[in-house]
Structure 1
Amino acid sequence: MPVERLLPTSEATDLLALTREIARDQLAPQAAVDEAAEKFPRDAFRLLGESGFLGLPYSEEHGGGAQPYEVYLQVLEELSSAWMTVGVGLSVHTMSCYPLAYFGSAEQQSRWLPGMIGGELLGAYALSEPHAGSDAAALSTRAVRQDDSYAVNGAKAWITHGGIADFYTLMARTSDDGPLGISCLLVDAATPGLSAGPPEHKMGLTGSPTTPLYFEDARVPAERLVGSEGQGLKIALSALDSGRLGIAACAVGLAQAALDLAVDYAKQRQQFGRPIIEFQGLEFLLADMAAAVHSARATYLDGARRRDAGLPFGQQASVAKLVATDAAMKVTTDAVQVLGGAGYTRDFPAERYMREAKVLQIFEGTNQIQRMLIARHLEKS
């Protein structure tokens, strides 16, 4: 069922109407088929690019939509309610553009940003490594300056869009100075010496490839250094704050889809001569699911509005990511319960929603890490 939204402008209202049309007519009918086939929907991203969705929160000067984050996140929610692979993919792409948009020089932005957010290219964010997931400062992939380029060697892990992205926003070590030795490079996917490993075999989001990346003396021009040497961890963590809001919005979209499915099923399913939605046990379960969805939506909107106002929002981003993704896991699990045996089959999308929800509690910083970050904010307050 469509969510009634309070939007800041008529332009935003029109954008959400277009989003719903695309989600309903183009994405939802194809989602189950492509997820079962483990097929990446590049055509869906081309459609989003043509519609101006790949640069929504970025400036019009470089081809973006100049939309408030509050609006962009609601677009993500709508897309995710139809197809999580697409919603998460847009969130990852947006985060991959963030370092250049906020830390790049004016010349770099003019040169590369229009292509990155203009609709043709798809990005990936290369931070995690086999032994550096939650501990981002422990990166070992190295970028050694040699004349007018960096020679990059090492491996990255768990890269969304690995092997299909057009560019990678890479965090690599340029010195041994601990957290201050990490730098950010914008890497063209066609760079010699860069390759992707086979996709991981995942329990959910099977339409979205997640692969390792390998750098074997890959030469990246020095002009593709974003910010200054040693600024990479600061850039990465800043991007993650915004990215966590994106994942929170995706989680709410998934939870809303599961709630809608459960309510529709409970209205139609008859037991003991009446719809099961009339039984108090189901009524209370559905009420709790609805409360979780509404509460989670409020957390990401709070973080987005603070971001749009130029206020600190790191704590709110962690809260939103924690609350929304835990809610998605519970709501999708309860949706399977509402459907009973039918929920455990692939005849209904409830089981897919449940499988997709799990990873939301893991990436962009596990929910255990979010609790730690929230506690640190409280210690400093």
Structure 2
Amino acid sequence: MKTAEEQTLNLFDLSPEHQEIQQEIHRLAQEKIKPRAMAIDEEAEYPMDILALLSEYGYIGANMPEEYNGAGLDLLSFCLIVEEISRVCASSSQVAVVQELGSLPIMIGGSDELKKRFLPDLAAGKKVAAYALTEPNAGSDVRSLKTRAVREGDSYILNGQKMFISNGGVASVYSVFAQTDNGITAFVVEKDTPGFDIGKLEKKMGIKGSPTAQLYFENCRIPAENRIGEEGDGWLIAMKTFDKSRPTVAAQALGIAQGAYDAALAYVQEREQFGKNIASFQGIQFMLADMATQIEAARGLVYRAAAKVNDLTATGKNPELTRASSMAKLFASDVAMKVTTDAVQLLGGYGFIQEYAVERMMRDAKITQIYEGTNQIQRLVIAKTILGGHA
């Protein structure tokens, strides 16, 4: 019988280039990242060694433009990278995922000068990025932002609070969204800017190696040249960022689900009860069949959404992109939660203890249903793309 790895590596008709990327990151994740996964979860600290590893192999800036020292890979390539890392350690995948998320506003709306100042160091992993949108009263309701930036000469004075910010306290470059006279506007805020402080680090259920913090801005002076795009462009930049980042979170969820399935499949082929291998029991076989089918369905949606982003890059427009991204994020994250829960069940008592990875994977899976827009919000987004102005 083939292992889970043998069954999944070449199920899709990827291009030779994509297959090579997938195989390379698979080897790296299995050999270098998997042995660190349990310790990263227990230490609950940002894994600087994983940042260095991914930077060394060029994965940290994989989808950033070559002109800014990135690898210039398409989103499908980046999703393959995230999937394979998440398969062994979701916290490690966050190193790449949040670097992309924090950098995307600069890539999407930044001036050439802004890109030249920040993207090369972000692509090389010399600096860490973060994306600061969420506030205590503005989670799903992004337009309710209270953080405000007031123009004063060649600067903006920023006041407000952010929360649930991934890489908070670790990042040196923050893409921050605030209200201005002309609407929501995005800015690059550097970590040592006077008036910018890091609040408490949250204690979380999962992805413990990815720090989540509160941010405070008190009369924080930001140079006008750090504005991303024009005043009022922030809403569009945020939405375009989500269109490109949601497939990445979907790939993360897909990888978590695949990793849990790998562990469960290996276990049931070894475990014996009532004088038989438990993989021979029909009830177990039905669970495995459902898990495998759900993962393959999720993989199709994730890769399709990534392809839509690639089409957008090539043609400049793609009206189906938002729907495809939300569908992938919604379905893959629900699958991750279902598959990891079933994997814990298949391992029985062993699945409930930390020595076995499925316990960690189940905890890590939950956040994929929440961040980058809750799955309830994804359903609203999908419905609006179906119904247009009637939703």
Please indicate the TM-score interval, normalised by the length of the shorter structure.
Answer: over 0.9
1:128 is paired with a residue whose SS is coil
Stretches of 4+ moved more than 6 A in 1? none
Pairs within 5 Å for 1:119-158:
119-158=125-164
Question: Aligned partners of 1:111 and 1:122: how far apart in 2?
Answer: 14
Contiguous gaps of at least 5 residues in structure 1: none
Question: Aligned partners of 2:74 and 2:90: how far apart in 1?
Answer: 22
CA offsets per residue over residues 122-174 of structure 1, 9 Å max, x none?
10000000110000010011111111111111100000000010110000111
| Post-superposition offset of 1:7 | 6.4
Question: Aligned partners of 1:354 and 1:11: how far apart in 2?
Answer: 32
Question: Aligned partners of 1:12 and 1:287: how far apart in 2?
Answer: 27
Paired letter, 2:367: V
| Post-superposition offset of 1:38 | 1.1
Q: Give RMSD over aligned pairs.
A: 1.4
| Post-superposition offset of 1:11 | 4.0
Pairs within 5 Å for 1:364-379:
364-379=372-387
**1:95 equivalenced with 2:101 (yes/no):** yes
CA offsets per residue over residues 301-347 of structure 1, 9 Å max, x none?
11111111122310000000000000000000000110011111112
Question: Aligned partners of 1:30 and 1:369: how far apart in 2?
Answer: 34
Pairs within 5 Å for 1:26-37:
26-37=32-43
TM-score (norm 2): 0.94
Paired letter, 2:377: I
Question: Aligned partners of 1:37 and 1:289: how far apart in 2?
Answer: 30
The structure-2 alpha-carbon separation of the partners of 1:8 and 1:259, relative to structure 1 and needing over 3 Å to count, comes to closer
**Cross-structure match for 1:212:** 214
Question: Aligned partners of 2:280 and 2:259: how far apart in 1?
Answer: 21
Question: Aligned partners of 2:382 and 2:154: how far apart in 1?
Answer: 41
Question: Aligned partners of 2:13 and 2:82: how far apart in 1?
Answer: 14
- Which deviates more from structure 2 when the two are superposed, residues 276-285 or residues 215-224? 215-224
Q: Is the 8 A contact 1:88 1:247 kept in 2?
A: no
How many residue pairs were aligned?
377
Q: Say which of 231, 243, 246 aligns to 1:244.
A: 246
**Cross-structure match for 2:340:** 332
Q: Say which of 308, 317, 330 aligns to 2:325.
A: 317
CA offsets per residue over residues 16-64 of structure 1, 9 Å max, x none?
2321222112211011112112122011012111211122122211111
Question: Aligned partners of 2:218 and 2:117: how far apart in 1?
Answer: 26
Q: Say which of 234, 237, 246 aligns to 1:235.
A: 237
**Cross-structure match for 1:81:** 87
Q: Say which of 2, 18, 21 aligns to 2:27.
A: 21
The structure-2 alpha-carbon separation of the partners of 1:284 and 1:7, relative to structure 1 and needing over 3 Å to count, comes to closer
**Cross-structure match for 2:191:** 189
TM-score (norm 1): 0.96
Q: Is the 8 A contact 2:160 2:216 kept in 1?
A: yes
Contiguous gaps of at least 5 residues in structure 2: 313-317
Q: Is the 8 A contact 1:187 1:224 kept in 2?
A: yes
1:52 is paired with a residue whose SS is coil
Q: Is the 8 A contact 2:195 2:219 kept in 1?
A: yes
**Cross-structure match for 2:165:** 159
**Cross-structure match for 1:304:** 306
Question: Aligned partners of 1:164 and 1:4: how far apart in 2?
Answer: 34
Identity %, equivalent residues: 40
Paired letter, 2:306: A
1:159 is paired with a residue whose SS is strand
| Post-superposition offset of 1:121 | 1.3
The structure-2 alpha-carbon separation of the partners of 1:7 and 1:223, relative to structure 1 and needing over 3 Å to count, comes to farther
